Chain A
Amino acid sequence: MEKITPETIRHTATLSRIILSEEEEKGMEKHFAALLRQMEPLDSFDASAVPATAHILPAVNVLREDRAGEPFDREKLLACAPERDENSYIVPRVVE
């Protein structure tokens, strides 16, 4: 089992766009390690003969016909946005 290091925590936090204090990082490290320990017993299970699971349900081919439906009320969607103009979502400028 891979060891949880402060680097793993920082990397994961960056990818998740979460800022952690030093103290929180330490707490997370312990928390992650505990989670992995819980999973450890699985390592002793021989899964070599078990095919990879793509989905936990047995269903396949859940498809719909290609037909366009009635348009949804745009206003209802835009109303959920923290910031908007008349017809677009407004976010902080993402390019320099």
Chain B
Amino acid sequence: MSDYIVTIGLEVHCELKTESKLFCSCVNKFGGEPNSHTCPICAGHPGVMPVLNKKAVEYTVKAGCAIGSRISRFSKWDRKNYFYPDLPKAWQTSQYDLPLCVGGEVRFDVGGEEKTVRLNRIHLEEDAGKLVHGAGFTAVDYNRCGVPLIECVTEPDIHSADEAVAFLEELAGIFRYCGISDCKMQEGSIRADVNLSLSRPGEPLGTRTETKNLNSFRSVRRAIEAEIARQTEVLESGGKVVQETRHFDDASGTGYGMRSKEDAQDYRYFPEPDLMPVVLSDADIDAIAASLPELKRARRARYTSELGLSDYDADVLTSDPAVADLFDETVKLGAVAKKAANYIMSEIMRKGKTEGEDGVTVGVTGAQLSDILSLVEKGEINLVASKDVLDKIWQTDMSASEAVDKLGLRQNNDAGEIEKLVRDIIAANPGPADDFRKGNEKVLSFFVGQLMKATKGKTNPKIAGDLVRKLLSE
């Protein structure tokens, strides 16, 4: 059974996070009342003229630069014709033979090995509307219609579900770091089509099927596994795989073929007469390339090799660009890398994560965080108190020191004052003091507890412990 080679190519659709849509000034925003973000242009009324969004072109070029594509000096627009109510014009404005980005590659790790997937192209196009199917009718919402979408087409370099998911995670990470897309699965801002075929070693590629519109990494994995099993069964029983478009039903975990006519794939592309070609100079492209930040993979490598973090820590910190930026800023301001990493991974990510959402809200700056860490380091607050400080300064511009004072949390480190308190406590508890002198170490925590109580927890526990031991031994 396992002697088939699985060959997969992906088409990844990713919505760009521009302010406005691709060809009109309607807001590009997820959700909203049906059809509340529409106008005659994106609702496909006759006679309207689209005008291309400059930012969308810039973002597409940025995506291409990030994965090493060749950026086209000349690219143009085409109409992809098909009848389906999610596109009111009956064509999708897309790019056919002259896309903005050609080639490129994505490197990532899977199962401890480095893997490279080549990209064929990235082109810019408009997203389609949303259909809600009811009993005997379909309701159409064009809010998403006209949202700028990049389509990234890979070469058939992927050979398993693990590789497909690892590739998608890396690609989504690259786009998030570039700031061109949120790649939010739950909002459908990144979706993938899977082209898959099986073949015997040494034989030409088998017939492929295309499973469309998978909108979570989990669905991609499940759809690939189900399709490998299905095609294997067809071939093992002497049958032939039919080239078709398939859908994957998440609820049942199975794919099914769409009963579409053979002609359906005949899109009759032709040049879009309403849009002018885009010409980019070397200077335009260089400027966009220069705006790229250090990407996820490079940062992860730097965190482990230069800052000595573990692979796990580096992975967690780079999972979200805002978190990685916070970490970099904090360390730059003098925090110890491992301590900053631990604090971010525990406190910041716990506080900034919302159930069911992909991203992390980072509510402090590097300056605020390095301030907290240095107060803890100097023993002015303890870790427990630092959480109250964090709550206080979260999403404000208050400094950590100011919050410590406002909350009255500054630890009492005045040795003279503490010493007096300890002497009083010892004098008031002669029994336990004797026990300690007779060798009962456990009593130490009783005295530290008494001291903490007397100072309302504001004593540095280490200083307290050392002092109690010293005074009891006198």
B116-173 contacts to A, CB under 8 A, are: 131-142
A71 in complex: contacting residue of B26, B40, B43, B278, CB < 8 Å: B26
A66 in complex: contacting residue of B19, B85, B139, B275, CB < 8 Å: B19
The smallest beta-carbon distance between A60 and chain B, in angstroms, is 4
Residues of B near A61 (CB, < 8 A) are: 276-279
Q: Which residue of chain B has its CB nearest to the CB of A75?
A: B35
B53 in complex: contacting residue of A54, A64, A74, CB < 8 Å: A64
The answer to whether the Cβ of A78 comes within 8 Å of any Cβ in the partner chain is yes
The answer to whether the Cβ of A59 comes within 8 Å of any Cβ in the partner chain is yes
The smallest beta-carbon distance between B104 and chain A, in angstroms, is 23
A89-B35, A91-B85 known; A68-B19 Cβ under 8 A:
yes
The answer to whether the Cβ of A63 comes within 8 Å of any Cβ in the partner chain is yes
A15-B263, A54-B277, A78-B35 known; A64-B52 Cβ under 8 A:
yes
CB-defined interface of B8-37 with A at 8 Å, one 1/0 digit per residue? 000000000011100001111000011111
- The answer to whether A91 and B137 touch across the interface, beta carbons within 8 angstroms, is yes
Q: Which residue of chain A has its CB nearest to the CB of B266?
A: A15
Q: Which residue of chain B has its CB nearest to the CB of A11?
A: B263
The answer to whether the Cβ of A92 comes within 8 Å of any Cβ in the partner chain is yes
Residues of A near B278 (CB, < 8 A) are: 60-61, 63
- The answer to whether B139 and A89 touch across the interface, beta carbons within 8 angstroms, is yes
The answer to whether the Cβ of B39 comes within 8 Å of any Cβ in the partner chain is yes
CB-defined interface of A74-96 with B at 8 Å, one 1/0 digit per residue? 10011010000101111111111
A64-B53, A72-B39 known; A87-B25 Cβ under 8 A:
no
The answer to whether the Cβ of B212 comes within 8 Å of any Cβ in the partner chain is no
Residues of A near B138 (CB, < 8 A) are: 90-95
- The answer to whether A90 and B139 touch across the interface, beta carbons within 8 angstroms, is yes
Q: Which residue of chain A has its CB nearest to the CB of B276?
A: A62
Tell me, in angstroms, the Cα distance from A67 to B38 when the chains sit together. Answer: 15
The answer to whether the Cβ of B378 comes within 8 Å of any Cβ in the partner chain is no
Binds A, one of B54-62, B194-202, B365-373: B54-62
- The answer to whether B51 and A63 touch across the interface, beta carbons within 8 angstroms, is yes
The answer to whether the Cβ of B45 comes within 8 Å of any Cβ in the partner chain is yes
- The answer to whether B38 and A72 touch across the interface, beta carbons within 8 angstroms, is yes
- The answer to whether A55 and B139 touch across the interface, beta carbons within 8 angstroms, is no
- The answer to whether A77 and B38 touch across the interface, beta carbons within 8 angstroms, is yes
Residues of A near B263 (CB, < 8 A) are: 11, 14-15
Tell me, in angstroms, the Cα distance from A55 to B53 when the chains sit together. Answer: 19
Chain B interface residue count: which class?
Answer: 35 or more
Tell me, in angstroms, the Cα distance from A11 to B262 when the chains sit together. Answer: 10
Residues of B near A69 (CB, < 8 A) are: 20, 25-26
Tell me, in angstroms, the Cα distance from A45 to B136 when the chains sit together. Answer: 54
The answer to whether the Cβ of A17 comes within 8 Å of any Cβ in the partner chain is yes
Tell me, in angstroms, the Cα distance from A75 to B26 when the chains sit together. Answer: 15
The answer to whether the Cβ of A35 comes within 8 Å of any Cβ in the partner chain is no
CB-defined interface of B368-389 with A at 8 Å, one 1/0 digit per residue? 0000000000000000000000
Tell me, in angstroms, the Cα distance from A89 to B72 when the chains sit together. Answer: 39
Q: Which residue of chain A has its CB nearest to the CB of B75?
A: A54
Q: Which residue of chain B has its CB nearest to the CB of A60?
A: B279
- The answer to whether A72 and B40 touch across the interface, beta carbons within 8 angstroms, is yes
- The answer to whether A55 and B35 touch across the interface, beta carbons within 8 angstroms, is no
A14-B261, A80-B45 known; A74-B36 Cβ under 8 A:
yes
The answer to whether the Cβ of B83 comes within 8 Å of any Cβ in the partner chain is yes
- The answer to whether B137 and A90 touch across the interface, beta carbons within 8 angstroms, is yes
The answer to whether the Cβ of B271 comes within 8 Å of any Cβ in the partner chain is yes
B51 in complex: contacting residue of A62, A85, A92, A94, CB < 8 Å: A62
Q: 14 additional contacts, CB 8 Å, given A74-B33, A90-B139?
A: A14-B261, A15-B81, A15-B263, A15-B268, A55-B276, A60-B278, A61-B277, A65-B54, A67-B19, A69-B25, A72-B38, A77-B45, A88-B141, A89-B139
The 8 listed contacts between A and B (C-beta, < 8 Å) are A54-B76, A62-B276, A63-B57, A67-B20, A72-B39, A88-B35, A90-B140, A92-B136
